[in-house]
Homo-oligomer: A and B are copies of this chain.
Amino acid sequence: MTFVIIGGDAAGMSAASKSKRNDPTIEVIVLEKTTDVSYLISGLSYNIADPHRKVDDLVVRPIQEFKDKLGIDVRLDHKVERIDRINKKVKGRSAAGREFELAYDKLLIASGARARRLSVPGIDPPRVVTLRSLEDGRRLKQLISSRIPKRSVIVGAGYIGLEMADAFYRRDVSVEIFDIESRLLPWMPSEMARIVQMEMESKGVKFHLESRLLKVEKKENKLCATFTTGTARADILLIAIGILPNSEIAAQAGLVLGARDAISVDTTMCASDPDIFAAGDCADMVHVVTGQKVLIPLGLIANRGGWAVGDNVTGKYTAVPGIVGTAVFEVFNMEVARTGLSFSEAQEAGFDAVETHIHSHSRALAYPGIQDIYVHLVADRSSDRLLGANVVGREGAAHRINSVATALHAKMGVREFYQCDMAYAPPFGPVWDPLLIAANQLIKKM
């Protein structure tokens, strides 16, 4: 059997390794359009922050290991351009311009996503950048070390934008962030978002909200970016306004697209063709809380999807019942974590949403080094069901979110969650964990 995989990052290489480990007799061919496979893209901003680290440190496993140890046929510089479902073939072109054609028995589309671009004048490399690949990272790092930029402008205050603000700061590059939204981190209460914003502003980051980029010009060796709210001069301009799934070849092949134009898959990651699977940032998933399809591009989801495909193409049934969108990032000294639905997402999904947010502490009051911690919980008034959470703080926020994520998977009610017997010791929190304090407050509102 020939198992062809389009895309050699998290989902693709997970599926390749898993299928080959399950059944060493199958032929696994990975077609990767770049020259990198299996890398930790989520580590890019942290890597850029550190001039002493090479971008290639982010490679999880070298290509040669996939080839030699696992017998996976990894073909770099191979861009698939067309899927012929009738004849079960993929067709494409190598970077050198050579056409190729390859038959498959099972196909995985793990083509990932690309940075969303803006169609305004002047968005030109090398100094206007996006960040999605190791190659993007290498170019940006090279730019920083060669041109020693003093000022940056970041368009977009999402995860990447905020993480890169931190990275630029560490490289002594000043940061101005512009975003079209009226506030930061719109999925959490504005009071909590303000904590993160204030932390960043204390480091000199300037925010310009409700700002749309109109054009970029070069003036006296500087980039001059004009926004609806004013202009900013910079040496580097980063566009970080989200992603678009690379689902075009799937659509052209007549496969059904789902949430946000990602490839629609069932819980076995099978697309609308029994021999074609999709996983990672190009595929949708069921959100456990709403039961709706969503596209949430995150590393664990890609890996999990890839593993499931590796099983399913080798006769081992593995389903991924769904996700809850648990995510965390670190910006300066703040841990910012979320899971499940925001208040407005809960309302949109038809829940009788009720929310609360509380301020507590990361350690017991009598313990040195105490920090603030903020918890936001959302629940459904009529069913009592917990729907989502945000946790923000200098310590203890990242891992706390996983208790709520677990509760969401278990479809726990707030009252049930409040009864959870959580760990307590003075270095790690108050007697009543901040999550329990928040749950108690939420119960009072219900």
Task: Please list the residues of chain A having a beta carbon within 8 angstroms of any beta carbon in chain B.
Answer: 10, 40, 42-43, 46-47, 50, 53, 57-58, 60, 288, 298-301, 303, 320-330, 335, 337, 339, 364-368, 396, 398-403, 405-407, 409-410, 412, 416-417, 419-428, 431-433, 435
Across the interface, which residues of B come within 8 angstroms of A324, CB to CB? 420-421
Bound Cα distance from A417 to B299, whole angstroms: 18
Given A398-B425, A405-B421, 7 further pairs, Cβ under 8 A? A399-B402, A399-B428, A403-B406, A406-B406, A406-B412, A409-B416, A410-B416
Bound Cα distance from A47 to B46, whole angstroms: 37
From A58, A321, A325, A366, name the one whose CB has the most chain B CB atoms within 10 angstroms: A366
Bound Cα distance from A412 to B323, whole angstroms: 16
Contact of A421 among B323, B421, B424, B427 (CB under 8 A): B323
Given A47-B366, A299-B431, the answer on whether A423 and B58 have CB atoms closer than 8 Å is no
Bound Cα distance from A346 to B366, whole angstroms: 36
Chain B's nearest CB lies how many Å from the CB of A158? Answer: 14
Task: Across the interface, name the chain B residue whose C-beta is closest to A163.
Answer: B425
Could you give 26 example pairs across A and B, Cβ below 8 Å?
A40-B365, A40-B426, A42-B364, A42-B424, A43-B364, A50-B368, A288-B421, A298-B424, A299-B424, A299-B431, A300-B431, A301-B421, A303-B431, A321-B419, A328-B428, A398-B399, A399-B402, A399-B403, A402-B420, A403-B406, A405-B422, A406-B410, A406-B412, A409-B412, A409-B421, A410-B410
From A288, A365, A420, name the one whose CB has the most chain B CB atoms within 10 angstroms: A420
Across the interface, which residues of B come within 8 angstroms of A301, CB to CB? 421
Chain B's nearest CB lies how many Å from the CB of A193? Answer: 18
Chain B's nearest CB lies how many Å from the CB of A387? Answer: 14
Asked whether, in the complex, the Cβ of B43 is within 8 Å of the Cβ of A423, the reply is no
Bound Cα distance from A58 to B364, whole angstroms: 10
Bound Cα distance from A426 to B48, whole angstroms: 13
Across the interface, which residues of B come within 8 angstroms of A330, CB to CB? 425, 427-428
Across the interface, which residues of B come within 8 angstroms of A427, CB to CB? 46, 330, 398
Across the interface, which residues of B come within 8 angstroms of A42, CB to CB? 364, 424-426, 431
Across the interface, which residues of B come within 8 angstroms of A425, CB to CB? 42, 327-330, 398
Bound Cα distance from A410 to B364, whole angstroms: 27
Given A60-B365, A425-B329, A425-B330, the answer on whether A420 and B432 have CB atoms closer than 8 Å is no
Given A300-B421, A423-B328, A432-B300, the answer on whether A40 and B403 have CB atoms closer than 8 Å is no
Across the interface, which residues of B come within 8 angstroms of A46, CB to CB? 366-367, 426-427
Task: Across the interface, name the chain B residue whose C-beta is closest to A303.
Answer: B431
Across the interface, which residues of B come within 8 angstroms of A368, CB to CB? 50
The 10 closest A-B pairs by CB, nearest first: A410-B410, A399-B399, A328-B423, A398-B428, A402-B403, A323-B421, A406-B406, A43-B426, A326-B423, A324-B421
